[in-house]
Structure 1
Amino acid sequence: MLLMFLLYASRTQGLKFTKNPVNLTVTQGNMVRLGCAVEGLIEPEIVWMKDGEKLYSMDQMYITIDTHHWETYHSVKSVQQQDAGKYWCEVEHHGTVISSEPGWITVEGVPHFTSEPHDIATFPGAPFNLTCEAVGPPEPVQVLWWVGGVQEGDFQPSPSVLTVKGVNTSIKYYCEAKNARGISVSRTGTVYIKVLPDSPKDIQIDQLSDNVTLMWSPGFTGYSDLSTCTIQMFKNSRRKVKLPDQQVTVPPFKHMIGGLSSHSNYSFQICCSNEVGSSPFSPWMNFQTPEAVPSAAPKNLSFHLTEQQLSLTWSALEEEELNGRLLAYKLQWNVGGEVQEPLLFRENFAHVSGGARFFNATFQVSACTVVGCGPLSQPVLIRPASVVQAQSPRGHMWVGLLFGLLVATVLGLLLIVLAHRRSKESQFGSAFKSSGMESVVSFTAARSFNRQGSELPEHTLDSLGINDDLKTKLRDVLIPERLLTLGHMLGKGEFGSVREAFLKMEDSSVQKVAVKVLKTDINSSSDIEQCLKEAAHMKDFNHPNVIQLIGVSMHRRPQQRLPIPMVILPFMKHGDLHTFLLLSRLGDEPFNLSLQTLVQFMLDVARGMEYLGSKNIIHRDLAARNCMLNENMTVCVADFGLSKKIYSGDYYRQGSVSKLPVKWIALESLADNVYTTQSDVWAFGVTMWEIMARGQTPYPGVENSEVYEYLIKGERLKQPPDCPDDICWSPVPKCRPSFQQLVAQLEGLWSGISPAATKEPLLYVNMEDGEGELNSGLGATANTPSAYDPHLGVLWQCADMEQDEKDWLVVSSGAALAIGGDYRYIIGPCGLTDQESRQSDDGLSGDIRDDDEDVIINV
């Protein structure tokens, strides 16, 4: 032990961490950065660890303090509850790992559900319990139940257990969790009533010789797990014979039946049972077992020999012994130890001319089917009766001698026959020929049988429980999982992660791709369906500025009912646009982005959105974080998780509780949850602001819960210089330009900008009081009107505006603030002072943090 300690000390001498992660308490959605510094190595490989697992990062930064002293940081641009935990650094040197002191990240925000509603099933009228648990920080957290659209009681401490006395029809339920930061709404669960299951379906038969494997899929399970299935079977021979019922424990939904007779007809039907009872039986299905070689040799072989012919007879085989259709009886014979050509006959007797030539010959007979010949009968020696009767007493000595010779000959012949049987009887595919005038019968083996078990079938879209329309859309883009090799994680979100991967193509080449993988703890068909809807939207996209779908794959999980869907997308070398913009000003090596490049980014996004509009697609989540940069620096619109296809009219109304990015949402969408192409134009205006601000968070200093009040007063994002009026943010949707108009304007602007125009706009901070605003290039100047100026009147008006729209515009502009704004749509007072909302995290000031937290909108 002492020697090991001395060895460890010698290896780590002079190697130490000079900076360790600190404990941080962060508001959900804010940026956080942890730092580590190590001294004693020239070029150390510093690995970040979280809760015992290695963190993979594409943008880990190293800072050289001196030759043997290095510092690195780990950043999270938008902290979520899953980022909370214990962090530390590790360095390996000569096979020894040293670790820094740990630091903890505690995330404050709206409550986070640790146990939320899920689909359950119960008997009619039977009482049951529902459980909901959510945690902070901050604490305490209270829970409110909604069952069947009706509020159950009042808020109560988390965790909460609600006892329901019983229901007779299916109902939906969810819970709300409230703390000082706001309210979170859980997923919606359904309480189903257990009923009888439906009949099994998709029945398949896999025949392996006399063993048969039956496979089937369960029908509707009646909202209760199937426990057993019953197989009823009949053998259809001369008379129908019922076989014993077979009880099968499921899953898996397959069963092998052995001991069946060859070349026999069988019929069967299957039913399955759950807690309620048994399903109806499936329709009768028939199968026939394959033929086999006969199992027995013909008996009672006898002969009659004359000088003219040899007559042989034997007993025919029974049907159970034959194991197939009789092809022929084969007579195997030899003379003097020499094996002769076999003779084939269709009946159980034979007449062969030239009887004398068979004297002292040995005969055996076997039955043959198309598969082969069965065992040979006992040998019979051919000797004429006249020869036996002609024997005299004087010839007894000769008889004894001849008998001895005969016995030796017979033994020799038997050995030859046995050797010939071993070498030839197994060759079932050869042709048989006869000598003389006898008939000739030839045959070959009908088919071969694989006696190995079949592989488990690959998961298909049919196994996911999603609707038929979605299955039809995705069926031709399904890619087998075996062609994918997953690599390290590129990013993660609420419903899963994005991983680097390699896809094997048909020509055996390998393509680098990105794969969106649903979280492994999601087991609901509805969650899986929501994930695949994004892929369905992308299937028919074909535009250079819209990310295209490569395919969809299913990750099989052992002992799990549902696979995990994986959406396969092109690999984007430069990642998302928001991170790229942040790196241009905050990375280790900041780089310059010309004004022409920034306008080109906007033009790419506008062209992609124009294309989506032509496909009747409303994006609903357009932002720089949802735009990707490929290797050619071309921007592609991506992330269609909130997208909706509109089939009639020109709007979509959100009809459920959703988590939405409020700082990018149009005013009318916040108020009434109505989404149109014009609301996407509003989000595009915010995205252009992000691009010009190099990734800065919109509305700096304005909390998410305050955005609606901020906008309804007439406030807007401060206009960057050289930009047209902020018509994208008109409170009247039809007064906003179309994406076609925006593309035309941006094309004209781009062509008129010199590549040398590289003026760098600076950051600014919103000030609530209008006086002393820090204007450094992105805000309004003395010669540029702000988004709202009471001295200039109301902006954003258009010629065909109705009077009621103008009246509403005046109210929203601040002329009638006595109504106090419509606060129905904003839940969750932040409860922070201005100083707290702008507090620094590890040295980063509040005006440059990534504060794109989603807020719950109650619709």
Structure 2
Amino acid sequence: CSPEEHPANQTVSQGNSVRLGCAVEGISEADISWRKDGVKVHINDQMHFTLGDLHWETYYSVKSVQQQDAGVYWCEVDFHSITSTSQPAWVTVEGVPHFLQDPQDVSTLPGVPFDLRCSAVGPPEPVEVVWWVGGAAAGGPSPSPSVLHVPGVNSSINFYCEAHNAKGITVSRTGTVYIKVLPSPPVELSVLRMEENNVTLSWKPGFTGYSELSTCTVQVRDTVSHLSSRLPDWVAVPPCLLHLHHLTFYSNYSAQVACTNQLGRSPFSPWLGFQTPQTEPSAAPRNLTFDLRDQELRLGWAGLAEAELRGRLLAYKLQWSLGGEGQEALLFKENTARLSGAGRFFNSSFQVSACTVIGCGPWSRPITVLPAAAVPAPPLRSHLWVGVSLAALLVSMVGLFLMVLLQRRDKETQFGSVFKDPGPDSVSFLAARSFNRQGPDLPDSTLDSLGINEDLKTKLQDVLIQERLLTFGHLLGKGEFGSVREALLKTGDSVQKVAVKVLKSDVDSSSDIEQCLKEAAYMKDFTHPNVIQLIGVSLQRRAGQRLPVPMVILPFMKHGDLHTFLLLSRLGEEPYELSVQTLLGFLVDVARGMDYLSTKNILHRDLAARNCMLNEDMTVCVADFGLSKKIYSGDYYRQGSASKLPVKWIALESLADNVYTSQSDVWAFGVTMWEVLTRGQTPYPGVENSEVYEYLIKGERLKQPPDCRDDIYELMHSCWSPVPKCRPSFQRLVEQLEGLGAAASPPPPRPPQLYVNLEGEPGPEWLMASSAAMAIGGDCRYIMGPCGEEGGQGPPRDLRDEEDDAVIHV
């Protein structure tokens, strides 16, 4: 079927109504739709009327016609998948003109001519255009479309056009003539991506100056050397990106960018600083040499330049093999190594590699330690001279001996000539002359010879141990107060391993010794499972010194300190999980020990995880209590002294006024709690020691560790109240920690004891490695400092240099 009535062409004025009709015959159901300019018209209230059997009619109407309603219309019938259409009908809307092209903004240089364009249509026609520029008419009416030629302007102005026909006037949008200027600096310069030593920079254009940007110039320089990297002179934009390739690893760079438009280049953006990541060193240490001297093997090598290191040096890794079998690798912070027991390294092969936190670089050329290398063989001519010299010396000694012998025989002959015929009363004798070239042994020192008060002598008399009963072994540590040595103490028929703290040898008065021994006297009465106990004191007599050197004898804790244990659990070669209940158990032990000390009116003043020791059954014992002021010298905690301050553990009032109370120890216990809950991290990461006081005075405190329960952190935070009296007592801390531990889940089995028996291991100076060394790979459980031997500067710091405040501990 097809429509039998078609819509008719219509011309209407704008605002009037229009109605189009369409009829179709031969369909049982009406399905008639309308289309305008080929697009289906959606009619919400379309009605179909029946004119008879199979005869239908429908209409499309618009009550108020506007210009957008003008166009060509037709109706469309779908019947059994066959589409039929009516003839098209045109709807013409007469009214004021409407614009086909509004005038557009113009960007131009000062005084440069340009054209403005405007186009409008009716109906009715004709349509004329009048231009307005800068608020004044520019010429008379002109037919549409219209082009206005402007000879040039020196400042920004506005313009528009008017379209006139018989129905009225229509005004276009207002355009603006902009005068082009230089662009402003780019903004939001940032590092979009950083992959190894390849960096992608991105930025956004600033004000373009009414002119399209064509290129951008990027400057990149090394922050240290201020050398600019080789870059292209320009970067086409968009996109505003620059890929920098093959920068130097672990280097600081700065970048700035400027963009160019038609007039020229903008000022540069502010410098953006960034640092390339670390990687493995690119070169091996050179000039690896060795020296055998005094039963000690000394190794040395040249350090790497920064460009070769390509990161922050973590340690030097020394690997060696004996008989083709690889041995356990060793780590050193300096480019020297000293290994005792040189003989056991004969025929060993050594190699060294530099390591950053990312990994280790290439290995150096191996060197082999040979017995003959200990004493270099002299050349043949040297042998001849040595032989001649020895022979001359021997002849001289023999000649001298013969001369003495002849003189003695001559004296006896002269003497005997008087008694040429000796009778029975004659007496013969030989004069004997002997002496001991060794002086007498130094006598044992006694308390009576020290000049200390009688009460102190009485208290220490039963714990005085003679020096001859001690056999000293490995040097465990060395610091400001003196040294710590492993020793064997003979008591009757038994031998006990102990740790001996030896005060510095520059003791110059009895008062110094009395101050040290007075603290030891306090320790004598300590009997608590969570406080390390005094075994005895001894006095070491040294030749050439008027007064003996005090020594404090303490139990040997072979499992080490709590800080190292926590680090191994997190960063060790075989990390293991420590449950919350296990960590709270450690803290309960520390709190009990400190509560006991507070009842004895003892101020610890150096409480930290490093000064808490683990005994045989992994119970924590507080160590170094009451000795801080004396053993570490009276200035140890005085702000501004030459000695280092453990400022990250010191209470706010102690930093400000050098005042210490039991509440000051509670503050340090809160910091120790943070150490334990973070598994050995350094407090206040990113805050320098010199900045801690200002950090605290502003109200800042240590942040809540990850995975730390809110109730635990609340108790921790209460220890850092700025008002000392508001901090909990140690007795209260014990009660609350026990309650928190009871609420925790049952602990897993105790982790394996990851400690090494140092007996039989090379060198007395070996210490447990900081667990950061595990990041380098390999089975490296030891670390040696450059001066670990007698006379050195103490044990090595943590490889990450986090423990700036660390002090030597047993």
TM-score, shorter chain, exceeding 0.5: no
TM-score with structure 2 length normalisation? 0.43
TM-score with structure 1 length normalisation? 0.40
Highest CA radius of gyration, 1 or 2?
2
